[in-house]
A and B are shown apart, each in its own frame.
Chain A
């Protein structure tokens, strides 16, 4: 990285930290620390919700996913707007009416203390581990591509935000998220603009979309499900899993995950919370669509220019230092010559598109697909060699594609800004996570069960210490995180294992008035064991685990209510 890039990176990060600390000066009470004294407008709520959900992984992995698998990942967000409506109708009025600090506080009022504690603990496990991954995921990519030390990168990724999160609580988190999102949007827009700008002079934005479409990268809607295929349940991203699975995942994430609930509980009133959530429902899908489109455009860029056989250069360097060097170099040479053929064919395709010559379009498309197939075979061979050279090699480079493009092709200054963007996107979601881990620990466990009847000042101080402690725990998790496949998926999988059960508890609370605490508590424990067993047996896509978990809790709770509670005569 050049000095200009370092300057842009350091100044941007410092500015956000200083702004966060400045905004945190006035917070001295528990209400101010966790709920911002209920002072937030819908606009801040919206940015905070989006900043919490969109982590660094979102901006690194999504373009890579579009590059390899096309844009169908966007369908995963189709259930989100529907979930926002259900939240506005059911969850928000109750949370505001009961003036809760955390979502789990409501469970005690509806059921009992043990159900509240169970939901809090499930949340703490899931959120703490996934926050560790949120630190590690962008760190490993940055350290591989830029040659940084992974441990120091982890420290910067998860450490500096602790300063303003500890000192300012929710208010500092929300205000810094506003700055962070602004920089992230500017960065993504500039990256998208630069991809199109750097295409050959005769290739327009529309031509690039045509090429992406012809190569199957604009597969935004997939409606077909082949039920004769026994693996159709495992298909991750089609419109049905997106609408149904995505709905349940979004409902549980936004309705029962304290890292999100804690954002909209800071609103001035119910109206501001609702508008914030509904606006999120309106903008999230188009936003994700645009991020994925940047990935498809990067794919088109590499149709005209040399692409490496493998994007994770650290793994390439590792294999080049072994006895397998010659066979790997041979594959690189083959890949380069195929790239040249691909470039010529892509130019021919663009010419055919300009001339609107359908026959030529079809012919070039077919030969391009054939070349692409050969490139994929070479890539698979390269991966096999890497595996042979080192059994522990990370053979999934999806998350490296976008940043490789940035570092290799963008002008000085912009590289620094985009790397700052990765850090800030990570900080936004990690800060909210730490704040929610602390609020759940203090409100649902420490103040309620462990150290009762203490002063406000004591709990305020404890909140700061717990935020700090969780920050250290998450950094430690990041230091120990190992290969987890696609990292965005790892976070989602982890969420799916627990979210369904937690959502089930909440839906029983809201809609099944006759079910009591004991029944729902045991139903949740049985369900969690079953969900983990189903995940291990690998019979279904993880997106469906939420639906299964949620429905099982509701079903078991109904049955157990009848079995456990004997009818009494009045």
Chain B
């Protein structure tokens, strides 16, 4: 039960990390996108 619970919370932690990493990648992409066309 404990193991199952911790694996679920680990899955959620990964999902949260994915959202934050995507945001960082988007900001980096926007930066270089804008730079390319200036």
Q: Which A residues are within 8 Å of any B CB, using their own CB?
A: 71, 74, 78, 81-82, 84-85, 88-89, 209-210, 212-214, 216, 218-221, 239, 274-275, 278, 281-282, 285-286, 289
Q: Please, how many angstroms separate the alpha-carbon atoms of A453 and B34 in the complex?
A: 61
12 other contacts beyond A214-B38, A282-B22, with CB at 8 A cut-off?
A71-B34, A81-B19, A81-B20, A82-B23, A84-B19, A85-B20, A209-B37, A239-B27, A281-B19, A282-B19, A286-B26, A289-B26
Q: How far is the CA of A221 from the CA of B17 in the complex (A)?
A: 22
A112–B33 Cα distance when bound, in Å, is 51
Distance of A278 Cα from B33 Cα, bound (Å): 25
B27's contact among A71, A78, A89, A281, by CB below 8 Å, is which?
A78
Interface size of B by CB at 8 A reads 16
16 A-B contacts, Cβ less than 8 Å apart? A71-B34, A81-B20, A81-B22, A85-B16, A88-B12, A89-B16, A213-B34, A213-B37, A214-B37, A274-B15, A275-B15, A282-B19, A285-B26, A286-B26, A289-B26, A289-B30
**Chain B residue with Cβ nearest A285:** B26
Q: Is there contact, CB below 8 Å, between A274 and B33?
A: no
Tell me, in angstroms, the Cα distance from A504 to B34 when the chains sit together: 36
In the complex, per-residue mask of B5-38: 1 if CB is within 8 Å of any chain A CB, else 0: 0000000100110011011001100110110111
Report B15 CB to chain A, min CB distance, Å. Answer: 6
Which residues of A lie under 8 Å from residue B16 when comparing CB positions? 85, 88-89, 278
Closest partner residue, chain A, to B13 (CB atom): A89
State whether A210 touches B31 (Cβ < 8 A). no
* CA of A212 to CA of B38, assembled, Å: 8
With a cutoff of 8 Å between Cβ atoms, the chain A residues found around residue B36 in the complex are 213
The distance in angstroms between the C-alpha atoms of A239 and B36, with both chains bound, is 19
Label chain B's interface by main secondary structure: helix
Question: Which partner residue on chain B sits nearest A85 by CB separation?
Answer: B16
CB distance from B35 to the nearest CB of A (A): 9
Residue of B nearest to A274 (CB): B12
> Given A78-B23, A82-B23, A88-B12, A213 and B38 touching (CB < 8 A)?
yes
Closest A residue to B37 by beta carbon equals A213
Chain B residues, Cβ within 8 Å of A275: 15
Q: Across the two chains, which residue of chain B brings its CB closest to A84?
A: B19
In the bound complex, residues from chain A placing their C-beta under 8 Å from that of B34 are 71, 213, 218-221
| B22–A212 CB distance below 8 A | no
Counting from the closest, the 5 A-B pairs by CB-CB distance are A213-B37, A220-B30, A81-B23, A220-B34, A85-B16
B6 to chain A, nearest CB (A): 16
Chain A residues within an 8 Å CB radius of B23: 78, 81-82, 281, 285
Kindly list chain A residues whose C-beta atoms are within 8 Å of the C-beta of B33. 218, 220
Q: How far is the CA of A216 from the CA of B34 in the complex (A)?
A: 9
User: With a CB–CB cut-off of 8 A, which chain A residues contact B27?
Assistant: 78, 221, 239
Closest chain A CB from B21 CB (angstroms): 10
